[in-house]
Structure 1
Amino acid sequence: MKVIVFGAAGRAGRVIVTEALTAGHDVTAAVRDPAKLSSADQRRLTVARADVRDPDSVRAAVAGHDAVVSAIGPAGRHADGLYSDAARAMVAAMQSTGVPRLIAITSSGVRRDDPNHALWYRLLARTLMNELYGDMRLMESIISESAVDWTFVRPARLTDDPPTATYRVVDGENPSGGWKVPVTDLARFIVAELAEHRWSHTAPTLAQ
């Protein structure tokens, strides 16, 4: 497949790009600053300049691909509309260019009433992380109301631990007792979903 990854210079995005290339896909890494990535030593990798807050650049980057992966995220705990702005730009670009598939990373914290979250985490999600998760929820709402074929991947806390492939996946709620997942496991789940297409119009939530 021809896959474009937004947020490709970020923590999860870099791993997704690597895993997608390993799986044999042609990958475009969409970043605001192409100097942060190099395609010189990577076959089937293209680096494109795109800013998710600039709809024209998103449209130009998305054209010609089979699927879009969103691994965007702010540097801190405040989104400042990043997720919702990106959702509007990606949906418009996909609909105008005929790209059908979107896999977007949000968080297990998006569901405020998840019974499988610890009390301390629910309090955190409603206070310090409320603005961030609120913008993620808005992103999901914008995308789910569109005509694109979407999947929202909601990981628990991401770690740099080695991949285990022992994580659990539940649609729409955090796996009971789970609170973390290696970023490589997240990336491999997303790359597998590109080919298997098992989780269309669902919100698989990943945790060990």
Structure 2
Amino acid sequence: MKVTVLGATGGIGGEVVRQALLAGHEVTAVVRDPSRFSVDGDPTDGRLRVVTANLTSPEDLVPALTGRHAVLSGLGARTRKDAGVATRLTRTLLTAMETTDVRRLVVVSAAPVGPAPADDGFLDRTARALVSAVLKDVYTDLRAMETAVAGSATEWTVVRPPRLQNKPLTGGYRTVIGGFPAKGRFIGRADVAHSMLALTNDPAAVKQGVGVAY
């Protein structure tokens, strides 16, 4: 599979690049600052291409998208001060995709943006409400991003993880298409990346939000 990864210098995007290469895929990593990009292993077999692009310009992105089978995006706010970046940069991506032949798109959002499990207990509901209040601007941004993605002509999937952790890949996570795993409170960035790659080839996930958690 030939994939383009946006947000390749971030925790999730970098893991998508690393795992995709290990799986034998051809990867185009789109970065704004190449000095911040690194990947484990030896990419000299030619399956990795690093493209520096201005993510506010659709025209800059088109060469990195043309001929790809899918786009996986880890774009999002690194801090509360960055709120708005997910919507702004994803709209640039969607505009660029309109001029190419690539239609499959997998993006990262967050659990509080999607539906809560029907059997959530008091503690989980309280924690969800508290986090949503503290990170209100970030989640408002992600909701707007999801709206833009859902209104596009792409074959999209939105992945919604809970609190992120830096831990090795386990593969022991749960996914719920159209919902969220009960009592799913944490997940590692490496497992989010793994789920994104797996969902890319899952027809049931097209035009769906997918909750992922341990």
Q: Deviation per CA, 1:11-59, whole angstroms, max 9, x where unpaired?
A: 1111110111111110011000122225893130010012322222222
What is the identity, as a one-letter code, of the residue corresponding to 2:198? Answer: A
Structure 2 partner of 1:88: 91
Query: Residue 119 in 1 paired to residue 126 in 2?
Result: yes
Rounded Cα–Cα distance in structure 2 between residues aligned with 1:159 and 1:54: 32
> Which range moves more in the overlay, 162-171 or 5-14?
162-171
Q: Which residue of 2 aligns with 1:8?
A: 8
Partners of 1:156 and 1:195 in 2: how far apart? 22
* 1:159-187 Cα distance to aligned partner (Å, 9 max, x none): 12233322211123331111001222111
Distance 2:199 2:137 in 1: 29
**Aligned residues between the structures:** 207
CA shift, 1:190, in A, is: 1.3
1:76 and 2:79 matched: yes
- Aligned partner of 1:60 in structure 2 is 63
1:102 aligns to 2:109 (yes or no): no
TM-score for both structures, normalised by structure 1: 0.90
When structure 1 is superposed on structure 2, of 196-205 and 9-18 the one drifting more is: 196-205
Residues 178 and 35 of structure 1, relative CA distance in 2, 3 Å threshold: same
The residue aligned with 2:21 is 21
Q: Give the superposition deviation at 1:114.
A: 5.9
**Contact preservation (8 Å) 1:79, 1:135:** no
Q: Where does structure 2 lack aligned partners over 5 or more consecutive residues? A: none
1:104 is paired with a residue whose SS is: strand
The answer to whether the 8 A contact 2:56-2:92 is kept is: yes
TM-score normalised by L of structure 2: 0.88
Contact preservation (8 Å) 2:150, 2:156: yes
Matched AA of 1:204: V
Q: In terms of mean alpha carbon deviation, does 171-180 or 8-17 score higher?
A: 171-180
Aligned to 1:143: 149
SS in 1 for 2:49: strand
Q: Which amino acid is the alignment partner of residue 129 of structure 1? A: L
Cα offset, 1:193, TM superposition: 2.1
Distance across 1 between alignment mates of 2:168 and 2:36: 24
Given that residues 76 and 85 in structure 2 are in contact (C-alpha distance below 8 angstroms), is that contact kept between their aligned partners in structure 1?
yes
User: Which segment is superposed worse, 106-115 or 80-89?
Assistant: 106-115
SS at match of 1:27: strand
Superposed, which structure 2 residues align to 1:170-185 within 5 Å?
Answer: 170-185=176-191
SS of 1:177's partner is: coil
Residues 95/81 of structure 1: CA separation in 2 closer, same or farther (3 Å cut): same
Partner of 2:98, secondary structure, is helix
Q: Kindly report the root-mean-square deviation, in angstroms, between the aligned alpha carbons of the 2 structures.
A: 2.0
1:113 CA drift (Å): 6.1
Kindly provide the CA deviation profile for residues 125-174 of structure 1, in whole angstroms up to 9, marking residues without a partner as x.
0x221111111111111111111100001111111223332221112333
1:154-169 aligned within 5 A? 154-169=160-175
